[in-house]
A and B are shown apart, each in its own frame.
Chain A
Amino acid sequence: MKEPEAVPIENEREAASPGEAPHRDYEGTKMGMWLFLFSEIILFGGLFLLYSIYRFLNPKDFHNASLDLDVVLGTLNTVILLTSSLTAALSISALRDNHKKLSLLFIGATILMGALFIFNKYLEWSAKIHHGLYPNSHILATHPRGEQLFFGLYYMMTGLHGVHVLVGMGIFCLVYVYVARDFVNASYFWKLENTALYWHLVDIIWIFLYPLFYLVS
Protein backbone atom coordinates (compact mmCIF):
# COMPACT_ATOMS: atom_id res chain seq x y z
CA MET A 1 0.00 0.00 0.00
CA LYS A 2 1.37 3.41 -0.96
CA GLU A 3 1.98 5.78 1.91
CA PRO A 4 0.17 9.07 1.54
CA GLU A 5 2.60 11.89 0.77
CA ALA A 6 1.10 14.56 2.95
CA VAL A 7 1.27 13.86 6.67
CA PRO A 8 -2.30 14.16 7.90
CA ILE A 9 -2.55 16.93 10.46
CA GLU A 10 -5.13 14.99 12.47
CA ASN A 11 -2.71 12.10 12.98
CA GLU A 12 0.02 14.41 14.21
CA ARG A 13 -2.32 15.90 16.72
CA GLU A 14 -3.13 12.49 18.11
CA ALA A 15 0.52 11.52 18.55
CA ALA A 16 1.60 11.38 22.19
CA SER A 17 4.93 13.02 21.40
CA PRO A 18 6.64 14.04 18.16
CA GLY A 19 8.06 11.10 16.27
CA GLU A 20 6.04 8.55 18.17
CA ALA A 21 3.41 6.51 16.37
CA PRO A 22 -0.08 7.83 17.22
CA HIS A 23 -2.19 5.65 19.40
CA ARG A 24 -5.30 4.53 17.59
CA ASP A 25 -8.12 2.43 18.87
CA TYR A 26 -9.79 1.47 15.64
CA GLU A 27 -12.04 -1.17 17.22
CA GLY A 28 -13.14 1.22 19.95
CA THR A 29 -13.95 3.94 17.45
CA LYS A 30 -16.12 1.58 15.46
CA MET A 31 -17.81 0.14 18.51
CA GLY A 32 -18.68 3.63 19.73
CA MET A 33 -20.37 4.29 16.42
CA TRP A 34 -22.30 1.04 16.61
CA LEU A 35 -23.48 1.84 20.15
CA PHE A 36 -24.84 5.13 18.81
CA LEU A 37 -26.52 3.25 15.97
CA PHE A 38 -28.18 0.92 18.52
CA SER A 39 -29.68 3.96 20.25
CA GLU A 40 -31.00 5.06 16.85
CA ILE A 41 -32.53 1.62 16.31
CA ILE A 42 -34.31 1.87 19.65
CA LEU A 43 -35.44 5.45 18.88
CA PHE A 44 -37.05 4.49 15.59
CA GLY A 45 -38.11 1.14 17.03
CA GLY A 46 -40.27 2.98 19.55
CA LEU A 47 -41.97 4.87 16.73
CA PHE A 48 -42.46 1.65 14.77
CA LEU A 49 -44.08 0.14 17.84
CA LEU A 50 -46.40 3.12 18.13
CA TYR A 51 -47.30 2.76 14.45
CA SER A 52 -47.95 -0.98 14.83
CA ILE A 53 -50.24 -0.59 17.82
CA TYR A 54 -52.30 2.19 16.23
CA ARG A 55 -52.50 0.20 13.04
CA PHE A 56 -53.64 -2.85 15.03
CA LEU A 57 -56.36 -0.72 16.64
CA ASN A 58 -57.46 1.12 13.44
CA PRO A 59 -56.76 -1.26 10.54
CA LYS A 60 -59.38 0.19 8.22
CA ASP A 61 -58.45 3.84 8.67
CA PHE A 62 -54.77 3.07 8.18
CA HIS A 63 -55.60 1.22 4.99
CA ASN A 64 -57.65 4.12 3.60
CA ALA A 65 -55.07 6.72 4.62
CA SER A 66 -52.17 4.80 3.04
CA LEU A 67 -54.01 4.91 -0.29
CA ASP A 68 -53.46 8.69 -0.27
CA LEU A 69 -49.68 8.24 -0.43
CA ASP A 70 -47.81 8.22 -3.73
CA VAL A 71 -46.42 4.68 -4.16
CA VAL A 72 -44.37 5.62 -7.25
CA LEU A 73 -42.58 8.44 -5.42
CA GLY A 74 -42.04 6.18 -2.40
CA THR A 75 -40.56 3.42 -4.57
CA LEU A 76 -38.37 5.93 -6.41
CA ASN A 77 -37.03 7.20 -3.09
CA THR A 78 -36.31 3.62 -2.00
CA VAL A 79 -34.25 3.05 -5.15
CA ILE A 80 -32.42 6.37 -4.65
CA LEU A 81 -31.53 5.57 -1.05
CA LEU A 82 -30.41 2.01 -1.83
CA THR A 83 -28.19 3.32 -4.62
CA SER A 84 -26.72 5.97 -2.34
CA SER A 85 -25.90 3.20 0.14
CA LEU A 86 -24.03 1.42 -2.64
CA THR A 87 -21.99 4.51 -3.49
CA ALA A 88 -21.27 5.09 0.22
CA ALA A 89 -19.89 1.54 0.50
CA LEU A 90 -17.93 1.91 -2.74
CA SER A 91 -16.35 5.19 -1.59
CA ILE A 92 -14.58 3.28 1.23
CA SER A 93 -13.34 0.57 -1.12
CA ALA A 94 -12.07 3.19 -3.55
CA LEU A 95 -10.25 5.11 -0.82
CA ARG A 96 -8.66 1.96 0.56
CA ASP A 97 -7.42 1.15 -2.93
CA ASN A 98 -5.83 4.62 -3.02
CA HIS A 99 -8.26 5.87 -5.65
CA LYS A 100 -8.90 9.21 -4.02
CA LYS A 101 -10.67 10.82 -6.97
CA LEU A 102 -12.98 7.87 -7.42
CA SER A 103 -13.75 7.92 -3.70
CA LEU A 104 -14.59 11.64 -3.88
CA LEU A 105 -16.83 10.92 -6.85
CA PHE A 106 -18.72 8.26 -4.89
CA ILE A 107 -19.07 10.53 -1.84
CA GLY A 108 -20.35 13.31 -4.09
CA ALA A 109 -22.86 10.94 -5.69
CA THR A 110 -24.06 9.87 -2.23
CA ILE A 111 -24.64 13.49 -1.19
CA LEU A 112 -26.41 14.23 -4.47
CA MET A 113 -28.75 11.25 -4.07
CA GLY A 114 -29.49 12.33 -0.51
CA ALA A 115 -30.48 15.74 -1.90
CA LEU A 116 -32.67 14.09 -4.51
CA PHE A 117 -34.37 12.05 -1.80
CA ILE A 118 -35.08 15.20 0.22
CA PHE A 119 -36.37 16.97 -2.90
CA ASN A 120 -38.83 14.14 -3.56
CA LYS A 121 -39.92 14.27 0.06
CA TYR A 122 -40.49 18.01 -0.35
CA LEU A 123 -42.69 17.39 -3.41
CA GLU A 124 -44.59 14.70 -1.55
CA TRP A 125 -45.16 16.72 1.60
CA SER A 126 -46.21 19.84 -0.29
CA ALA A 127 -48.77 17.81 -2.26
CA LYS A 128 -50.18 16.40 1.00
CA ILE A 129 -50.24 19.79 2.68
CA HIS A 130 -51.89 21.27 -0.41
CA HIS A 131 -54.68 18.71 0.00
CA GLY A 132 -55.09 19.70 3.61
CA LEU A 133 -53.57 16.48 4.92
CA TYR A 134 -51.37 17.77 7.72
CA PRO A 135 -51.62 17.63 11.51
CA ASN A 136 -54.21 19.98 13.00
CA SER A 137 -55.69 20.94 9.60
CA HIS A 138 -59.46 21.53 9.36
CA ILE A 139 -59.79 19.07 6.48
CA LEU A 140 -57.93 16.29 8.28
CA ALA A 141 -60.05 16.92 11.38
CA THR A 142 -63.11 15.73 9.42
CA HIS A 143 -61.36 12.40 8.64
CA PRO A 144 -61.75 9.38 10.93
CA ARG A 145 -59.50 9.27 14.00
CA GLY A 146 -57.32 6.47 12.64
CA GLU A 147 -56.49 8.47 9.52
CA GLN A 148 -55.47 11.42 11.66
CA LEU A 149 -53.18 9.12 13.63
CA PHE A 150 -51.76 7.72 10.39
CA PHE A 151 -50.83 11.16 9.09
CA GLY A 152 -49.44 12.23 12.45
CA LEU A 153 -47.15 9.19 12.42
CA TYR A 154 -46.37 9.70 8.74
CA TYR A 155 -45.10 13.23 9.30
CA MET A 156 -43.31 12.35 12.52
CA MET A 157 -41.51 9.26 11.20
CA THR A 158 -40.66 10.39 7.66
CA GLY A 159 -39.79 13.82 9.08
CA LEU A 160 -37.39 12.41 11.66
CA HIS A 161 -35.94 10.17 8.98
CA GLY A 162 -35.57 13.20 6.67
CA VAL A 163 -33.66 15.05 9.38
CA HIS A 164 -31.33 12.05 9.60
CA VAL A 165 -30.77 12.17 5.84
CA LEU A 166 -29.95 15.90 6.07
CA VAL A 167 -27.51 15.30 8.93
CA GLY A 168 -25.90 12.44 6.98
CA MET A 169 -25.48 14.71 3.96
CA GLY A 170 -23.87 17.37 6.14
CA ILE A 171 -21.38 14.90 7.63
CA PHE A 172 -20.61 13.50 4.18
CA CYS A 173 -19.84 17.05 2.97
CA LEU A 174 -17.37 17.39 5.83
CA VAL A 175 -15.79 14.01 5.05
CA TYR A 176 -15.57 15.03 1.38
CA VAL A 177 -13.37 17.95 2.41
CA TYR A 178 -11.31 15.68 4.71
CA VAL A 179 -10.67 13.21 1.90
CA ALA A 180 -9.89 15.99 -0.57
CA ARG A 181 -7.28 17.37 1.86
CA ASP A 182 -5.88 13.93 2.76
CA PHE A 183 -6.96 14.19 6.40
CA VAL A 184 -8.84 11.02 5.65
CA ASN A 185 -6.83 8.65 3.49
CA ALA A 186 -6.16 5.02 2.60
CA SER A 187 -4.57 4.25 5.97
CA TYR A 188 -6.75 6.49 8.12
CA PHE A 189 -10.36 6.37 7.10
CA TRP A 190 -12.55 5.71 10.14
CA LYS A 191 -14.35 9.01 9.68
CA LEU A 192 -15.52 7.96 6.24
CA GLU A 193 -16.35 4.47 7.48
CA ASN A 194 -18.43 5.67 10.43
CA THR A 195 -20.27 8.17 8.25
CA ALA A 196 -21.09 5.39 5.82
CA LEU A 197 -22.31 3.22 8.73
CA TYR A 198 -24.69 6.01 9.75
CA TRP A 199 -25.88 6.40 6.17
CA HIS A 200 -26.57 2.67 5.85
CA LEU A 201 -28.62 2.71 9.06
CA VAL A 202 -30.70 5.59 7.73
CA ASP A 203 -31.19 3.47 4.62
CA ILE A 204 -32.33 0.50 6.73
CA ILE A 205 -34.88 2.67 8.54
CA TRP A 206 -36.30 3.71 5.18
CA ILE A 207 -36.41 0.05 4.11
CA PHE A 208 -39.00 -0.43 6.89
CA LEU A 209 -40.77 2.92 6.52
CA TYR A 210 -41.41 2.34 2.82
CA PRO A 211 -43.54 -0.83 3.04
CA LEU A 212 -45.29 0.22 6.26
CA PHE A 213 -46.52 3.56 4.93
CA TYR A 214 -46.73 3.10 1.17
CA LEU A 215 -47.40 -0.57 0.55
CA VAL A 216 -49.25 -2.25 3.38
CA SER A 217 -52.94 -2.15 2.71
Chain B
Amino acid sequence: MKEHSPGYGFYVFIWLTLLILTATTATAAGVNAGKFSVFSVLFIAGCKSSLVLAYFMHLKYESRLLKLLFFIAIATLTIFIGLTFVDFSLRGWFGI
Protein backbone atom coordinates (compact mmCIF):
# COMPACT_ATOMS: atom_id res chain seq x y z
CA MET B 1 0.00 0.00 0.00
CA LYS B 2 1.20 3.49 -0.74
CA GLU B 3 2.56 5.34 2.21
CA HIS B 4 2.81 8.67 0.52
CA SER B 5 -0.26 10.80 0.96
CA PRO B 6 -0.01 14.54 0.41
CA GLY B 7 -1.75 16.63 3.04
CA TYR B 8 -5.05 18.43 2.69
CA GLY B 9 -3.32 21.80 2.34
CA PHE B 10 -1.26 20.56 -0.58
CA TYR B 11 -4.37 19.40 -2.44
CA VAL B 12 -6.00 22.78 -1.85
CA PHE B 13 -2.84 24.43 -3.22
CA ILE B 14 -3.03 22.31 -6.40
CA TRP B 15 -6.72 23.16 -6.73
CA LEU B 16 -5.99 26.90 -6.41
CA THR B 17 -3.28 26.59 -9.07
CA LEU B 18 -5.81 24.85 -11.34
CA LEU B 19 -8.31 27.67 -10.81
CA ILE B 20 -5.68 30.31 -11.58
CA LEU B 21 -4.76 28.46 -14.77
CA THR B 22 -8.46 28.33 -15.73
CA ALA B 23 -8.75 32.09 -15.22
CA THR B 24 -5.58 32.58 -17.28
CA THR B 25 -6.82 30.46 -20.15
CA ALA B 26 -10.22 32.22 -20.18
CA THR B 27 -8.61 35.66 -20.37
CA ALA B 28 -5.87 34.58 -22.80
CA ALA B 29 -8.52 33.28 -25.20
CA GLY B 30 -10.40 36.56 -24.98
CA VAL B 31 -7.35 38.71 -25.66
CA ASN B 32 -5.51 36.80 -28.35
CA ALA B 33 -6.81 35.72 -31.68
CA GLY B 34 -5.64 33.26 -34.27
CA LYS B 35 -3.29 30.35 -34.04
CA PHE B 36 -1.44 31.56 -30.98
CA SER B 37 -4.66 31.28 -29.03
CA VAL B 38 -5.12 27.61 -29.97
CA PHE B 39 -1.64 26.65 -28.86
CA SER B 40 -1.71 28.74 -25.68
CA VAL B 41 -5.02 27.32 -24.44
CA LEU B 42 -3.94 23.79 -25.31
CA PHE B 43 -0.63 24.34 -23.51
CA ILE B 44 -2.46 25.52 -20.40
CA ALA B 45 -4.88 22.56 -20.65
CA GLY B 46 -1.79 20.30 -20.79
CA CYS B 47 -0.37 21.93 -17.66
CA LYS B 48 -3.68 21.55 -15.84
CA SER B 49 -4.06 17.89 -16.71
CA SER B 50 -0.44 17.22 -15.71
CA LEU B 51 -1.18 18.66 -12.27
CA VAL B 52 -4.31 16.51 -11.92
CA LEU B 53 -2.44 13.40 -13.11
CA ALA B 54 0.67 13.93 -10.99
CA TYR B 55 -0.95 14.91 -7.70
CA PHE B 56 -4.69 14.17 -7.60
CA MET B 57 -4.14 10.84 -9.36
CA HIS B 58 -0.78 10.22 -7.58
CA LEU B 59 0.96 9.29 -10.82
CA LYS B 60 4.10 11.03 -9.51
CA TYR B 61 4.31 8.52 -6.65
CA GLU B 62 3.52 5.40 -8.69
CA SER B 63 5.88 2.66 -9.84
CA ARG B 64 8.07 3.06 -12.91
CA LEU B 65 6.05 0.38 -14.68
CA LEU B 66 2.82 2.34 -14.32
CA LYS B 67 4.54 5.53 -15.49
CA LEU B 68 5.90 3.66 -18.50
CA LEU B 69 2.44 2.30 -19.35
CA PHE B 70 1.02 5.80 -19.13
CA PHE B 71 3.77 7.07 -21.40
CA ILE B 72 3.00 4.33 -23.96
CA ALA B 73 -0.72 5.26 -23.95
CA ILE B 74 0.04 8.94 -24.50
CA ALA B 75 2.68 8.16 -27.13
CA THR B 76 0.18 6.02 -29.03
CA LEU B 77 -2.33 8.85 -29.04
CA THR B 78 0.34 11.32 -30.13
CA ILE B 79 1.31 9.08 -33.04
CA PHE B 80 -2.33 8.78 -34.12
CA ILE B 81 -2.86 12.53 -34.01
CA GLY B 82 0.55 13.41 -35.45
CA LEU B 83 0.36 11.05 -38.44
CA THR B 84 -3.21 12.07 -39.27
CA PHE B 85 -2.20 15.73 -39.27
CA VAL B 86 0.83 15.04 -41.44
CA ASP B 87 -1.54 13.32 -43.87
CA PHE B 88 -4.07 16.16 -43.94
CA SER B 89 -1.59 19.01 -44.12
CA LEU B 90 0.43 17.43 -46.95
CA ARG B 91 -2.52 16.44 -49.13
CA GLY B 92 -2.12 17.75 -52.65
CA TRP B 93 1.56 18.57 -52.17
CA PHE B 94 3.09 15.95 -54.40
CA GLY B 95 0.27 15.81 -56.88
CA ILE B 96 -1.40 13.11 -54.81
A-to-B contact residues, CB < 8 Å: 26-27, 30-31, 34-35, 38, 41-42, 45-46, 48-49, 52-53, 56-57, 71, 75, 78-79, 82-83, 85-86, 88-90, 92-93, 96, 196-197, 200-201, 203-204, 207-208, 210-212, 215-217
Alpha-carbon distance A212/B44, docked complex (angstroms): 12
A208 to B7, CA, bound (A): 27
Q: Which residue of B lies closest to A88 (CB)?
A: B56
Asked if A86 contacts B49 (CB within 8 A), the reply is no
Q: Which residue of B lies closest to A34 (CB)?
A: B66
Pairwise interchain contact B73-A82, C-beta atoms closer than 8 A: no
Which B residues touch A31, using CB under 8 A?
Answer: 65-66, 69
B8 touching A90, Cβ below 8 Å: yes
Please measure, in the bound complex, the distance between the C-alpha atom of A71 and the C-alpha atom of B22, giving whole angstroms. Answer: 12
Complex contacts, B22 vs chain A, CB 8 Å: 75, 78-79, 82
CB contacts (< 8 Å) of B5 on chain A: these are: 92-93, 96
Known contacts A82-B22, A93-B7; can you find 18 more A-B pairs with CB under 8 A? A26-B1, A30-B66, A31-B66, A42-B76, A49-B80, A52-B81, A75-B26, A82-B18, A85-B56, A86-B11, A86-B14, A200-B52, A204-B52, A208-B45, A211-B45, A215-B29, A215-B41, A216-B38
Contact B26 A71, beta carbon cutoff 8 Å = yes
**Complex contacts, A197 vs chain B, CB 8 Å:** 57
Interface of A is mostly: helix
B8 touches A38 (CB 8 A): no
Query: Within 8 Å CB of B57, what residues of A?
Result: 197, 200-201
- Taking each of B19, B49, B63, B66, which has the highest tally of chain A beta carbons within 10 Å of its own beta carbon? B49
Which 3 A-B residue pairs are closest in the complex by CB-CB distance?
A215-B29, A211-B41, A38-B73
In the complex, how many angstroms separate the beta carbon of A71 from the nearest chain B beta carbon?
7
B11–A90 CB distance below 8 A: yes
Once the chains are docked, how many angstroms separate the CA of A49 from the CA of B52?
A: 22
Q: How far is the CB of A103 from chain B (nearest CB, A)?
A: 12
The chain A residue with its CB closest to the CB of B63 is: A27
Complex: chain B residue closest to A56, CB-CB: B88
A35 touches B80 (CB 8 A): no
Cα distance A171–B53 in the bound complex, in angstroms:
20
Min CB distance A105 to B, Å, is: 13
Residues 2-36 of B, flagged 1 when their CB comes within 8 A of A and 0 if not, give: 00011110011011001100100110010001000
